[in-house]
Amino acid sequence: MRTLQRVFAACLAVVAVGCGTESSEPEAPSLRTQVAEVVSPNGRNLNGRNLNGRNLNNGELGGMLVSVAYAGATSASGKALTNVRLQGSAFVGLDGPNPVTGTGFTGARFVGKLGDGSTLPVRVDGITQGSGGDSDLWSYQVSFQGSDGSWNSVCQDANGGALSAIAVAGRWNYLQGVAGGGEKIEDATAFTFACEGAAIAKCMHFGYKPWATVNGQSLAGHHQACTRMVRADFCGDGASHTTDGQWVNLYDGVGVQSDSESWSTEAEWNEAGARCFTSETRAHAPVTCSGFNPIPDCGSTSHFQSGTRLISESPYGVSGL
């Protein structure tokens, strides 16, 4: 699969979400075509925008919505919702003895957790179920309540326009350049609203839905590997090594995405980052990872049998096209 990765200056918004805008270049993102775009102005981002600017390792992380709790959810009428959980990307729960599912969560409020440990209200303003092969991808319009009492979109594009999100179980470590950065944390008490246009949501649109299986094999590992690949997180520490407007060909060993180009191998990927990478990367400059021990014969499809989830190819060398 060929993807055009947009990596303009990172824009981030509350939470884990994404900032993406359509491009007029190739065609709009579609898993069902061999050519799909990763069309966002922030390909470097794991999950979008935040209240305080760029998602770095300083105090700005304190204002980022890093997860949302299942506990404490209430309905649009203010009643407590219990046993709330995700089935795929759809919420289910109970309003008293009565089951609540799907669009029944419109107007529901959740408790969002910021990076500094504080919380804020998060509200579901609209819900749309996907269609066809993506009927398990539910889209949410989500807002947060600021300290002045006003409600603002959690997911925003570069111009501040509202974007939708996909709900996905668990949470991520948004730190960059440190051990554990970019890692998914399997937290049964929390979920993430993954904004459209950023890596977490993009990878679900590529077909790597973490709740899905192919021939009995879970795609959770492929999804996490994909979030590393989209951001060119070669070192597996949350740091991105890509630049604006990059092309990358992505394929796997389970048949979700196939090799559609005859480009040079860029890297092999698993959940922890790159298992190996070459000089033909989107970084256009040498990448050095501390303590990195690459596997030999980078790009061999036989490695799909020994831990490699994805292989990426690039038409770029260290000096670009």
Report the pLDDT value the prediction gives residue 65, as an integer from 0 to 100: 86
pLDDT of 111 over the 50 cut: yes
Distance CA 45, CA 110 (A): 24
| Residue ranges of domains in the chain | 2-314
Report the pLDDT value the prediction gives residue 315, as an integer from 0 to 100: 86
pLDDT of 277 over the 90 cut: yes
Report the pLDDT value the prediction gives residue 1, as an integer from 0 to 100: 76
User: Do 103 and 124 contact (CB within 8 A), yes or no?
Assistant: no
**What pTM did the predictor assign?**
0.85
The pLDDT confidence band at residue 159, using thresholds 50, 70 and 90, is confident
Report the pLDDT value the prediction gives residue 252, as an integer from 0 to 100: 98
User: Do 209 and 198 contact (CB within 8 A), yes or no?
Assistant: no
Sorted by sequence, the CB contacts under 8 Å of residue 143 that are 6+ apart come out as: 122, 123, 125, 151, 152, 153, 154
Secondary structure of the chain as H, E, C letters: CEEEECCCCCCCCCCCCCCCCCCCCCCCCCCCCCECCECCCCCCCCCCCCCCCCCCCCHHHHHCEEEEEEEEEECCCCCEEEEEEEECCEEEEEECCEEEEHHHHCCCEEEEEECCCCEEEEEEEEEEECCHHHCCCEEEEEEEECCCCCEEECCECCCCCECCEEEEECEECCCCCCCCCCCEECCCCEEEEEECCCHHHHHHHCCCCCCCEECCEECHHHHHHHHHHHCCCCCCCCCCCCCCCEEEEEEECCCCCCCCCCCEEEEEEECCEEEEECCCCCCCCCCCCCCCCCCCCCCCHHHHHCCCCEEEEECCECCEC
User: Do 155 and 196 contact (CB within 8 A), yes or no?
Assistant: yes
Report the pLDDT value the prediction gives residue 73, as an integer from 0 to 100: 99
- Across the chain, mean pLDDT equals 83
The token duo for 303 is 């490695």
What's the rounded mean pLDDT across residues 183-206?
95
* pLDDT tens column, 171-192: 999 999 999 999 999 999 999 9
Identity of residue 20: G
What's the rounded mean pLDDT across residues 198-216?
95
| CA 51 to chain CA centroid, nearest Å | 18
User: Do 111 and 72 contact (CB within 8 A), yes or no?
Assistant: yes
In the block, residue with structure tokens 């970019």? 182
What's the rounded mean pLDDT across residues 64-74?
95
